[in-house]
Structure 1
C-alpha cells in the first residue's frame, strides 16, 4: 500500500462560514482530520479543567471537489485547499508553506482516487464500537419474510416466488427471488425477459393487503422502430393485472398459457423467436384470452367481479418525447394497442443528467459559504429547478398511490433501465400506501427491497471510487485547462456520436433539455433490434481492468438523495405519521457517501454476494439500530384508523408545501425557506410542470401537458428511421475520427456529452 506523503501539518487555518480557527491537519488512510483546541471558557479557567481538542473528520469518498490555489508569486496571500463535500460541507484550509499545501493536496488526491477497488474503501476495514458489534443489520431484510408480510403466501394467493434468477444468470441486476403470478411459468418468464432491457421483467414489489392490487416494476421494452412486441410480455402483464380478481382466476387465458408453454417446450430455445414483430403473428386469439381474463366475460359478470372497474395503469416516468426517441436505438415504450387491458401515463420526470445538473446549480448557490458568512444565493437556488424536480417525483408517487389505494387498480412502473426514477416512484408510493414503511425498521426494509435488491447503481451514481477530474489546481485551470482532461468526450468521435443522437431525436422538439435518448447506464451503444454490438476492445489489459475501477462522472447523479428529500417532504407534511425523524434521513444521506458501511457500495444484489459484503463489511442499519433513540420521532402516533381524520392508512403528498430541506444542505430554515429578497423572481404554479392526472386511454399515446403536440405512430416511425440513419452516419465516422489526435483544449464538451464508448 502506498504511504501518504505527509501525515500531519501544523498551523493550518480552517475557514468555514466566515470563521477561522488555527489547528492541525492529519491525513490517515481513510480520513482527513482537522483538530484544534478551542479557547478555555471562564468556567474551565476557574476549575482548572483542561480544554479538550475538537475534531472535524472527512472521509475521502465524501469529497466531491478539491481545489488547490497556490499563492501568487511575490504575494502575501496564503496557499489554500478548498473542499466541497457531498454532505454539503464547504471548508477552506490555508497554509503558510506552499510546498506543504501541494503535498497535502497530492496526498488527499492519492488517498481519494488511487484506491481503484471497492475492497480498499473504509467499509472493509471498519471496526464497529460495541453497541454496533452486537447487531447484524444484514439480517434485517429477509425477502421471504417480507413477502409473507405482504400476503404473498396467503391462502388463494395468485403469486409465487420464482427462482429463475437464483444464480443471477437470468438478470444480473435483479434479486434472486422474483415474485410473479402463479399462472406464469418460468419458461414464459424466460422469453418475456428477452423483450425487456437487461431482462428486468415486470416483477411484483408491493401487494396491497386491502384490495390485492399491486405495484410492479420493470425496465423499458425493446420496441424499436419496427414496433417489436412480445406475446410473453403481454401475457405476463395481463396475468399481473388479473391477480386481484376473486370470482374467476384467469379463464381462457390460463388455457392459452398452457398451450403456449407446451409449444415452447417442443421447440429449441435457440431458435424460438425472442422478439416478435407485429406483422409476423396473428395474436387475436391470445389477445382475446388476455382481455377476457383482465376485463371479464360480460357486462353482467363485471358487476360480480371485485375490481371490475379497475383502471390499470402503465406508468412511464420519462417525458413522452424521450420515450419515443429511445425507439431510434431499439428501445422505447409500450405500444398500447398490444396492452388494451391498461392505460398509460407519462410523468415527464427528467433523467439522471438533468438531476445532476440541477444539484450542481444548488451547489453553485452554496459554494462560497466556506470563506464568507453570507447565506446562499436565493436567486440561484430558485433557478436550479431542484424543488420542481422534487415536486414532480412526489406528484408521480401520489398518482401511483391513488391508483392502487383509492381506485383499486394495478400499476406497472418503469423508466429506462428501471433502477433510478422507477425506484424513487416505487418506494415513495409504498410509503404513502403502507404505514409499515413509515416505521424505522419498515423504512430500512423498503430501502433494502426497492433500492438494494432491485439493483439501483449505488456505486456508479454515488461515485464512491472518485475521479481525478474532481481535483483541480486553480491557477493552472484558469491559465489554460487541466492537462488531465480530454479523452473521448472531447474528441471528434465523441462529437460525431453526440450529433448523431441529437439528430435522431431532433424531430421530437428543439426545446427538450432531457437526454433520455442517450444511454443512462454503462454508456455502451447497443442495437436492441438485433444482437448487441460488440464492445470496443479496451486498451487496458483485462487483468488490470479486473483490478482497477474508476468513476464515470457522467453516471453520477443524486437519485437516492432525491428520494430522501422527497421522504423528508412527507415527514414534514405528516409529522405524526413517521416513527423516524429528520436526523435519521440526514445521517442516512451522509452514510450514502461515507463508505463506512457496505450497504451502499454495490450496484446489485449479485455484486454484494460476489464480494461477500455480508461477511466482510458492516450494514449501515447497525449504526441506526444501535442509536435508535437518536432517530425516533417523539411525535409519532402508530394508530391507524381510516374513520378518524389524521390517522388514515394512506397519505398523499401536498405539492404546494414542497420546501427546501435546509438541514440536509447545512443551512438554516430562514436561509433556505425564508421570504425571497425583493426583486427576485418567484416561480408560479404554471412554471412547475406536473404529471398528467388523467391516464392515457388504451391505444392512445399523447404528449404531456408541456405544449408539445401529440406524436402519432406514423410520425414516430418516420422520425425514428431518420434518427437511425443519423446514428449510423455518426458511427461510420468513428474509425476516421478516432485516429485523429485527441482534443486537449479542455473538457467543456463533457458537460454536454452523456455517451462514453469503452
Structure 2
C-alpha cells in the first residue's frame, strides 16, 4: 500500500477506532429505513437482480483512476494503515521500519528505484522482513512509503531495466490483489540477492519454512477463535428439533475428511445409511443442513454431486435421505435441487463417475441448473479484469473492456442463483439442496449468499464472521489450494478467486442496500487483505481437519481477534 505520510494527518500512530468497520446508517438502528426491511430480504434481492441485469451492477460507471497502491486518501478518514497492519506506534516521517511482534528483518538495500506507474520514479530504501516488503523514500516533500505483505505475492519476475543508471536489475512483484509493483536496483556483492530473499519468505512452504501466522505474537484482548461455536449457531436457528439433530458422527473426520466435526442431519436416519450415502456422494460430502427457516422449517441443505456415473447408478439410501429432508418440511411436498454447474458440464461429469440426481429416481424433486462456470473460467476472468484496471484505466473503452472479462456477468449469475434459492424458501416454503461438483466452491458461494439474504443475523458484523467461519471455513473451502498460501507454484490450476467473488457479491449488496448491513467496504477490504496476508490463521489450510492437525487455533491468531478488539 502506497502512502504519502502527510495524508495520515494527526492520526499517525494511533490505533483504529473501536468500530471502524460499520456505517452510522447501518445495523439495527436503521432497520426500518426504506432500503432495509427486517427479516427476510428476498424482495429486495429480486430488486438487486433486476438492477444487476439492467446495469451490470456498478460496471456502468467508470471508476476513479485510483489503484490499490495509492488509496490512502480514501481510507484515511477511518483508519491509519500502519496502525491497522502493525498495531504499533509508527513514526512515518522517519526512515524506520515498523515491525510486528515476531517479525524479523532479513535484508535492506539502499538506492532502489520504485517504478511507480502513477507518479514516476521514486528513489529510496527497500527493506525485506519475513512478513513484508517495505519501501521508503524521504526525497519528496512528503515521505513516501510502500508496503506489501509477502503473502500477497503470486510470483516474482525479473524484468528489463533501461536508462536507470547503476540500477541494472529489475524486479516485478505480481500480486494476488491485482497490484504489480516494480523495482530497479544495483547488484552488490555485500547484499544477498533480493529475489532470493523475497522468494524464501514470500513462499515459505516451498522453502520448508512456517507461514508467518505461526511467528506472529501480537496479543489481543478478544479471542477471535470463539466467534464461531457451531452448536451455539445451530441452537440460534432452533436446532435440534424433532426432524433434525446435531450429530458428532464426523467427530474424528472419518466419515468425511473435508467436513466439520459437527453436522446437522435428519433424526430418523441410521448411521449405517449415512455411511452408504457418503460412498454415493463425491468426497463423501453427504447432504447436511446449513440453515432452517424459523417459520416454515424449510431448509438449505448442502452436499456434493451424486456418483451416478455413465450407467446411472442408484443409491436407495440417498434417495430416502432426500425424501426425509423433504418430509421434514410440512409446508411443502416438494424438494428443489439447485445444481450450480452448467448442465452440459454435469452431463459430462457422468462419464467421470459423477453426475446429477435423476428426477425419475427422486420423486417430487425438481432439478435446476444455475449454469455457473467452473473455477478455471473464474480464474481467467479475474486475470482479464486485472489487465483492465491495472496499472491504468482506459475510460474511453471502459464498458467494453469490463464486458469482455465477464466478471460482472458471473457476479450476476451468483446473485441470481442465490436469490432463486432464497425465494424458493421464503415464498415457496420449499426446502432446497445445493451442490456443485465437490460442494466446496460454488456451493459455498450460493448457500452463504442465500443465507445472507434470508437471515438478518448474518448481516451484522459478528454474524457475518460466523457465516464465513461456517459456510466457507468449516465446510472445507480449499483456501490453501485456491489462494496458494506460501506456495511458489503460481501456475497451479487449483488456484481460483471463488472467495473474492463472494466478497464482491456481498459488496454489491451493501452498495444497493447499505442500511441493511452492520459493516461496510472497509471491513470487506480488510477481510480480503488478510485472505492473502498469512498474518492470521483464519483462512489457512483446506479443511477443519488440517487446521486441527496444525493446531491453528493454538499457535496462530484469529483475524476476528483483531477485528473485534
User: What CA distance in whole angstroms lies between the structure 1 residues aligned with 2:500 and 2:469?
Assistant: 15
2:325 to 227, 240, 243: 240
User: What CA distance in whole angstroms lies between the structure 1 residues aligned with 2:191 and 2:170?
Assistant: 7
Aligned positions, number = 460
1:659-714 Cα distance to aligned partner (Å, 9 max, x none): xxxxxxxxxxxxxxxxxxxxxxxxxxxxxxxxxxxxxxxxxxxxxxxxxxxxxxxx
Aligned-pair distance for 1:94?
Answer: 2.2
User: What CA distance in whole angstroms lies between the structure 1 residues aligned with 2:447 and 2:158?
Assistant: 42
1:59 to 141, 149, 165: 149
Q: Is 1:616 the counterpart of 2:555 in the alignment?
A: yes
Contact 1:34 1:57 in 2 (8 A): yes
1:488-530 Cα distance to aligned partner (Å, 9 max, x none): xxxxxxxxxxxxxxxxxxxxxxxxxxxxxxxxxxxxxxxxxxx
Contact 1:16 1:92 in 2 (8 A): yes
2:270 to 176, 181, 185: 185
User: What CA distance in whole angstroms lies between the structure 1 residues aligned with 2:504 and 2:396?
Assistant: 18
1:219 to 272, 286, 304: 304
Which residue is equivalent to 1:33?
Answer: 134
Which residue is equivalent to 1:481?
Answer: none
Which residue is equivalent to 1:477?
Answer: none
1:233-258 Cα distance to aligned partner (Å, 9 max, x none): 1111110111122xxxxxxxxxxxxx
Q: How does 1:411-450 map to 2 (within 5 A)?
A: 411-450=432-471
User: What CA distance in whole angstroms lies between the structure 2 residues aligned with 1:575 and 1:447?
Assistant: 19
1:7 to 84, 107, 112: 107
Which residue is equivalent to 2:510?
Answer: 571
Which residue is equivalent to 1:93?
Answer: 183
Which residue is equivalent to 1:290?
Answer: none
User: What CA distance in whole angstroms lies between the structure 2 residues aligned with 1:172 and 1:161?
Assistant: 18
Aligned-pair distance for 1:57?
Answer: 2.1
User: What CA distance in whole angstroms lies between the structure 2 residues aligned with 1:150 and 1:211?
Assistant: 12
Contact 2:238 2:294 in 1 (8 A): yes
The alignment's TM-score, normalised by the length of structure 1, stands at 0.58
User: What CA distance in whole angstroms lies between the structure 1 residues aligned with 2:208 and 2:517?
Assistant: 34
User: What CA distance in whole angstroms lies between the structure 1 residues aligned with 2:214 and 2:148?
Assistant: 17
Aligned-pair distance for 1:89?
Answer: 2.5
Are residues 118 and 96 of structure 1, via their aligned partners in 2, closer, same or farther at CA, if it must alter by over 3 Å?
A: closer
Q: Is 1:173 the counterpart of 2:269 in the alignment?
A: no
Contact 1:32 1:59 in 2 (8 A): yes
User: What CA distance in whole angstroms lies between the structure 2 residues aligned with 1:117 and 1:453?
Assistant: 28
Aligned-pair distance for 1:90?
Answer: 2.9
1:103 to 189, 193, 202: 193
Q: How does 1:328-727 map to 2 (within 5 A)?
A: 328-369=351-392, 378=398, 379-467=400-488, 470=490, 553-626=492-565
Q: Is 1:327 the counterpart of 2:355 in the alignment?
A: no
User: What CA distance in whole angstroms lies between the structure 2 residues aligned with 1:228 and 1:386?
Assistant: 37
User: What CA distance in whole angstroms lies between the structure 2 residues aligned with 1:168 and 1:233?
Assistant: 20
User: What CA distance in whole angstroms lies between the structure 2 residues aligned with 1:377 and 1:69?
Assistant: 28
Are residues 6 and 182 of structure 1, via their aligned partners in 2, closer, same or farther at CA, if it must alter by over 3 Å?
A: closer
User: What CA distance in whole angstroms lies between the structure 1 residues aligned with 2:349 and 2:562?
Assistant: 42
CA-based RMSD of the aligned residues comes to 2.4
User: What CA distance in whole angstroms lies between the structure 1 residues aligned with 2:167 and 2:125?
Assistant: 20
Name the SS for the 1:337 alignment partner: coil
Aligned-pair distance for 1:79?
Answer: 3.4
Aligned-pair distance for 1:38?
Answer: 5.8
Are residues 55 and 166 of structure 1, via their aligned partners in 2, closer, same or farther at CA, if it must alter by over 3 Å?
A: same
Larger radius of gyration: 1
User: What CA distance in whole angstroms lies between the structure 2 residues aligned with 1:168 and 1:29?
Assistant: 34
Name the SS for the 1:190 alignment partner: helix
Aligned-pair distance for 1:72?
Answer: 6.3
User: What CA distance in whole angstroms lies between the structure 2 residues aligned with 1:311 and 1:384?
Assistant: 38
Are residues 173 and 6 of structure 1, via their aligned partners in 2, closer, same or farther at CA, if it must alter by over 3 Å?
A: closer
User: What CA distance in whole angstroms lies between the structure 2 residues aligned with 1:218 and 1:21?
Assistant: 52
Which residue is equivalent to 2:57?
Answer: none
Contact 1:95 1:101 in 2 (8 A): no
Are residues 98 and 320 of structure 1, via their aligned partners in 2, closer, same or farther at CA, if it must alter by over 3 Å?
A: farther
Aligned-pair distance for 1:97?
Answer: 4.4
1:30-79 Cα distance to aligned partner (Å, 9 max, x none): 221112226457xxxxxxxxxxx553322222012322124469998853
Gaps of 5+ in 2: 1-103
Q: Is 1:21 the counterpart of 2:122 in the alignment?
A: yes
1:146 to 227, 233, 250: 233
Which structure: greater strand fraction? 2
